[in-house]
A = this chain, B = another copy of it.
């Protein structure tokens, strides 16, 4: 696509929510800048959204509106920008239509790429169509580009990220203000930091989609959202945040994908991270990704993970890339070379753990607890018992030495059955 004097990028934009409006604004505001950087003009050919009349803070009347987004993949559009969302439905139909015709496809849709990434990459490679999805992970942080291109000389050993701003915002406020999860969630919803239906965010699904994409890029495997153990932050209690602090940790919702001796382990869950680590100090709605590669060592990337500007920035980066003709393997390696994802079961995860129990305050309890740990071969790193829990009994908090998760699961199972244990134990993984 380079050195053709009369070429142009003509965009078809599907979905005109916050991000779509943001893309239109940048294309209009930075017309000359973008043309210089892209090597050709970038124009909007057509748009599609359900509601034509909504005020989006930008005049959309000059653009050709189409009712069916799939119709954007025609009429001279050479790059479709998909901002509809959802792993299937019109987003998928549009992707197949555009890529099938050799039309560039730029998307912010993590669910689509996490679910159909391999199929779409194969289609794109077959027709030669660019397929880009920088905006799908960590908003404005160019982490897809870093993994797919900048770090291409490395065997990656791990990628860990704070990938959901809503969760990080909630955890930050819980810690700072000592509030319960429900309180902060309600407030976050009122302030627009959380959706009315927050499930996707707080149950870790959004983070899982993003982690599946990072895993594919890091390890050359098919994106695999089906086999990705996912836990959210709904059950994080203020008392765990306090104990974390006391133990030198902070609780963050992490997406992790790493090479282990057993294979590639990919998982999403809240974890305790050392207070002094870079990732522990990522607060509020900020996102961060930590990548370890064999040559480069550790690199860290931080920025806004969502919102109009940051997401539109990522979309524009992709569009400029398409204009410049950058068109390597869509998922880092050619689709046909993507290895099947054979994730290591989380039961095989080796790590250290935090366990909190509420128990009866009577003699012999500690002996019962430690007997179980000994029998399951879980070695204690630290253990503390504190005064009365608000709802009766006392808390026993312990951290383990490195152990395999199956042993921890068996231990928790047995704890639950002990008469002295008053509620389901809390377990959090510790990430060094």
**Residues of A participating in the B interface, judged by any CB pair closer than 8 Å:** 2-3, 22, 26, 30, 33-34, 36-39, 128, 134, 140-142, 145-146, 149-155, 220, 278, 281, 293-304, 309-310, 312-317, 319-321, 323-329, 332-334, 337
Cβ contact within 8 Å between B316 and A295: yes
Q: Which residue of B lies closest to A36 (CB)?
A: B333
**Are B325 and A297 in contact (CB-based, < 8 A)?**
no
The closest CB in chain B to the CB of A281 belongs to B281
- Point out the residue from B34, B145, B309, B312 that lies within 8 Å of A149, measured CB to CB: B145
Tell me whether A26 and B301 are in contact (CB under 8 A): no
Do the beta carbons of B149 and A317 come within 8 Å of each other? yes
A297 contact set on B, CB distance < 8 A: 140, 303-304, 309-310
Sample of 10 further A-B pairs with CB below 8 A, known A149-B320, A324-B329, A326-B326: A37-B328, A145-B146, A151-B313, A152-B320, A153-B313, A153-B317, A297-B310, A299-B304, A320-B328, A324-B326
> A429 vs B421: C-alpha distance in the bound complex, in angstroms?
59
Q: Measured between alpha carbons, how far is A151 from B150 in the docked complex, in Å?
A: 14
**Do the beta carbons of B299 and A301 come within 8 Å of each other?**
yes
Closest-CB distance, A393 to chain B (whole angstroms): 39
Tell whether, in the assembled complex, residue B295 and residue A39 are in contact, meaning their CB atoms are under 8 Å apart: no
Cα of A34 to Cα of B295 in the assembled complex, Å: 13
A30:B155 contact, CB within 8 angstroms: yes
Q: Is the CB of B334 within 8 A of A39?
A: yes
Nearest-Cβ distance from residue A146 to partner chain B, whole angstroms: 5
Question: Which residue from chain B places its CB closest to the CB of A300 in the assembled complex?
Answer: B302
Main secondary structure of the interface of A (DSSP, over half): mixed
Query: Which of B3, B36, B134, B304 is the one whose CB lies under 8 Å from A150?
Result: B134
Asked whether, in the complex, the Cβ of A326 is within 8 Å of the Cβ of B325, the reply is: yes
Of B309, B327, B329, the contact of A296 (CB 8 Å cutoff): B309
* Cβ–Cβ < 8 Å partners of A310 in chain B: 295-297
Which chain B residues border A3 with CB–CB below 8 Å? 128
- Establish whether residues A151 and B155, one from each chain, have CB atoms under 8 Å apart when the complex forms: no
Which partner residue on chain B sits nearest A298 by CB separation? B303
B36 & A337 in contact (Cβ 8 Å cutoff): yes
How distant is the Cα of A141 from the Cα of B320 in the complex, in angstroms? 21
- Contact present for A299 and B154 (CB under 8 Å): no
For the complex of A and B, 5 pairs with smallest distance between CB atoms? A153-B316, A142-B150, A324-B328, A299-B303, A140-B296
Q: Which of B36, B152, B309, B327 contacts A334 (CB 8 A)?
A: B36
Contacts of A154 in B (CB 8 A): 313, 316
A326: nearest residue on chain B (CB-CB)? B326
- Decide: A303 and B303 in contact? CB cutoff 8 A: no
Q: What are 28 contact pairs spanning A and B, CB under 8 A? A: A30-B153, A30-B155, A34-B153, A36-B220, A37-B152, A140-B296, A140-B297, A141-B299, A145-B149, A146-B146, A149-B321, A151-B317, A153-B315, A153-B320, A154-B313, A278-B302, A295-B309, A295-B310, A295-B316, A296-B310, A296-B313, A297-B309, A300-B300, A321-B326, A323-B328, A324-B327, A324-B328, A324-B329
